[in-house]
Structure 1
């Protein structure tokens, strides 16, 4: 292992949360590990809408925080929401100084979009639907100029190195030829993103399978609110997976949801119609698709001929599939989009595990509750990245003796496909006890067949938390418990909890 004086902060992942953390950790040395090309395999690059921040003259962070709390269905930590809303304003301005070309009106005012469940237009955008690409490009350039950051591309992380006596001493990477390499760290930051790749239909990179959750739980970390998976209601339904998005900003501009006969269905379901909270719209679209009535996003009047200039990414995706959104509605369906749950962490990324931080989607700070407010994800990643980086920059390095890491196995493609189908069917937009029990049966069958993979650990945490929550709240909708419980409570699970539940199920099955 390297001497203490030369040990870097290791950041796993090169999306917005990891890049922003690395930049703010200066002058401490940072080693950034990315499984593919630098910055090019993260969900950030695919983001369309933009970043939520109270930048408008009619807005303020207090109102942004209030909207965040209201959307979260009783589970948002109000203090975290206030810090997020206050911090996002400064972070968006910092990104602009870095070169991100956010839109402004001719008089200099911010050109902002309104998205679902926001009471104001407050989403800072770039080129209509190109925010993610612009942000990633600017951050990559900044990191490449930063003397304190070293990037190691195509580094496949296999897990974390436990510290003797508890904590995290670094990471294990695939060194090729069946060999592993242990990398020592003064602190390890997980910025590994979400777990949409566990689902048969997702808007995320397919490699995002909850690996960070699995790694952290093996060191004793707590996973909070694992059952809350947000499904984007308007993934473009053209048989592609991952599915391209029809950004929520389209509905903010006036696009409407219609059935195959051309009739709108949202006004009868919610006072805000197409701009209702995402969980409401996702369930409505899901039921339309399941019933055969169909769901289409009609932007012909709202955008029309301006599509190629104002929503380039959506326009290209549609035209590639033979759909001209200027003249015809876009077929849509819900797709796994964002995990509100994650490794329990503070807004500075602290996990309670010595030497281990988690930032961005892999974490759960309480900012999103049961239903994330649109475009708060990038805002949280920026606020967390800045705070975590500053903590790490000022932290004293401590020598941690490493213990032998556990080994995870990769899930074969056939087994992964089976898991994804089962997750879509039984832990999707709507769930019930019978389906969740069947999902756990599939997971256990795959464990017996293939061993304990990271994907199976993450899937088990979601299924178990969903089975335990006998109510409907936000993105978690139980058809057998369709009403919310009187008291809103977060769920918390450890790997030990998951193992105990498996033993109980196995013992019960043997007795029966």
Structure 2
């Protein structure tokens, strides 16, 4: 058993920013960061585009950024939260620069600003086309300088510890559910241990692995959302899964390479298989319309032409500028035989970001006491029905600060729960066949991709739910009888996330933002968040 004052689950921008701030404010407190893979293997690391922040006050303003965010969110943003994130964002960006993150500047020494879909002006600061990797590098370097932070890698969190583990009946209506820490799988000993904490922060990232094609790394299995749902916490708006319009199309490749929206911001043009610029048919903003619109347009063109991709045309763009701004994309295309000056880049939508998640208040506190959530796993109210491009890193920084402010104000009155029982693995045996897990995962990805993708129908959702029920029953039976493994836990979490996406989509009898159901092609006047 371990005890820590502040427990952080996840080592991306949200968790690391929070941990650094807590460490500086509370040098006498212990902070423990847990990550299930290498310390830098996070969704943050793969973020290309940059951070949307008001920096150029001559051409931009808080009001413009707020308006762009609200328009993109299609009526479901919490306007108060949008104002918080946009107005507090510049200070948080300055802090991350002080910690060592570098962003591109032009010859005059001012930030080089990009523009992405849904933005009315150039406002995205970036580091080449590997902004997330640069931020992750700087934060980890700062973390390793703090003596009161312990970072434990290759440690898998199995479940949150609540009153349920003390023998009490806990339901959705139970008042004051409390989090006392977590049970974790120690990969070195292969045993379940407990870590008790006064305060726990979930910064577990997204859930793109629930789909067959995703820009997310393999660790994005929705662990935080699934754990909170099992603990009877509140989850909302899971039906709003953002498909990035332009992932590099490579047949048979599941984890898709992202072609950042900034390429279109710099002049890239979407064309169908016949070479036609098709976006004028769908939106006046053309290739820089919000992601939900562009993804549906591409999906429509693929269905019309019977193809598995469209093209992104960069042949007319200045090669020197392209290589300077997008060196990673240039090298990736070159590695598979695509010369961007001569050939168009094949692209197709891929699951990219979850706009819903663990419901929090404006300080990042969940419906479970002493449990905070931040980053992609959280639903703060910023994104509504569709996230504005490059708002995610900004949200993570702002809410990491807010979680830090609230948690440190409470820490001195909180105590450890000492009567938490050890994990009981009685009656379980080692799994005899991994095929039971791997095949179920393939089935889950196929169900979600075929029935709960960019375009949905009631019949598809009904089929998906029936098949998910069967997978859930089989997996829970396996979980009860066999020893816990990361693969089994991730499958279990992904099935839960898939269920939440389907249930949210089934309850929403309209088409709004990222949720498009052909049985309900119009928006309802009644706007509501769907809480599960």
TM (normalized to structure 2)?
A: 0.88
| Equivalent pair of 1:214/1:454 in contact (CA under 8 Å) | yes
Q: 1:304, 1:327 within 8 Å by CA — same for their partners in 2?
A: no
The yes-or-no answer on 1:171 pairing with 2:182 is yes
Q: 2:22 matched to 1:7? A: no
Larger mean CA deviation between 395-404 and 298-307 belongs to 395-404
For the structure 1 residues 248 and 387, does the alpha-carbon distance in structure 2 shift closer, same or farther, using more than 3 Å as the test?
same
Asked if residue 275 in structure 1 is aligned to residue 288 in structure 2, the reply is: yes
Q: Choose the corresponding residue for 1:400, options 417, 425, 438.
A: 417
Per-residue Cα deviation, 1:26-72 (whole angstroms, up to 9, x for no partner): 22321000111112x20111110000100013112222111111110
CA distance in 2, matches of 1:225, 1:257: 30
Structure 2 gap segments, 5+ residues each: 169-176, 480-491
Partner of 2:531: 492
Q: Is 1:260 aligned with 2:285?
A: no
Q: Which residue of 456, 468, 471 maps to 2:510?
A: 471
| 2:441 aligned residue (416, 425, 428) | 416
Between the two proteins, the alignment pairs up a number of residues equal to 488
Q: Which runs of 5+ in 1 are unaligned?
A: 494-512
Q: How much does 1:391 deviate?
A: 2.3
Which residue of structure 1 aligns with residue 403 of structure 2? 388
Kept in 2: contact 1:31–1:150 (CA 8 A): yes
Q: Which moved more, 1:313-322 or 1:9-18?
A: 313-322
Contact persistence 2:54–2:65 (CA under 8 A): yes
1:318 aligns with 2:333: yes
Corresponding residue of 1:431: 456
Superposed CA offset, 1:341-390 (max 9, x none): 00001232200211211110000011000010000000000001111123
Question: Judging changes above 3 Å, is the alpha-carbon distance between structure 1 residues 78 and 402 closer, same or farther for their aligned structure 2 residues?
Answer: farther
For the residues of structure 2 that align with 1:149 and 1:9, how far apart are their CA atoms?
9
Mapped contact 1:161–1:402 kept (Cα < 8 A): no
The answer to whether the aligner puts 1:446 opposite 2:475 as a matched pair is no
Asked whether the 8 Å contact 2:4–2:32 carries over to 1, the reply is no
Shift of 1:285: 0.9
Name the CA distance, whole Å, in 1 between partners of 2:142 and 2:213.
Answer: 34
> Residue 198 of structure 1: CA displacement?
0.4
Cα distance in 1 for partners of 2:468, 2:82 equals: 35
Distance, in Å, in 1 between the alignment partners of 2:371 and 2:52 is 28
Contact 1:20 1:389 in 2 (8 A): no
1:163-312 maps to which residues of 2 (within 5 A)? 163=163, 164=166, 166-176=177-187, 179-239=191-251, 240-291=253-304, 292=306, 294-312=309-327
CA contact (8 A) 1:236 1:243 kept: yes
Question: Who is 2:356 aligned against?
Answer: 341
Is the 8 Å Cα contact of residues 169 and 402 (structure 1) preserved in structure 2? no
- In 2, the alpha carbon distance for the partners of 1:421 and 1:349 equals 33
Deviates more, 1:452-461 or 1:140-149: 452-461
Using the TM superposition, give the Cα deviation of residue 161 of structure 1 relative to its aligned residue in structure 2, in angstroms.
1.2
Deviations 1:328-353 (A, max 9, x none): 11001000000000000123220021
Partner SS for 2:300: helix
TM-superposed CA distance for 1:265, in Å, is 0.2
Contact 1:213/1:342 (<8 A) preserved: yes
- Superposition RMSD in Å: 1.9
Deviation at 1:459, TM superposition (A): 0.9
Q: Return the offset for 1:218.
A: 1.9
CA distance in 2, matches of 1:80, 1:448: 39
CA contact (8 A) 2:117 2:291 kept: yes
Of stretches 69-78 and 177-186 in structure 1, the one that deviates more from structure 2 is 177-186
Residues 190, 357 of structure 1: 8 Å contact kept = yes
Aligned twin of 1:377: 392
* d(CA) in 2 for partners of 1:213, 1:42: 16
- TM-aligned CA distance change 1:436 to 1:215, over 3 Å: same
Give the TM-score normalised by structure 1.
0.92
1:401 offset after TM fit, Å? 4.8
Alignment-derived partner of residue 482 in structure 1: 521
Find the aligned partners of 1:303 and 1:431 in 2 and give their Cα distance. Answer: 39
Distance of 2:334 and 2:408 partners within structure 1: 47
Three-state SS of the structure 1 residue aligned to 2:372 is strand
- Partners in 2 of 1:66 and 1:406 — Cα distance? 52
State the shift of 1:178 in Å: 5.2
Deviation at 1:274, TM superposition (A): 0.3
1:137 — aligned with what?
A: 137
Does the CA-based 8 Å contact 1:305-1:326 persist in structure 2? no
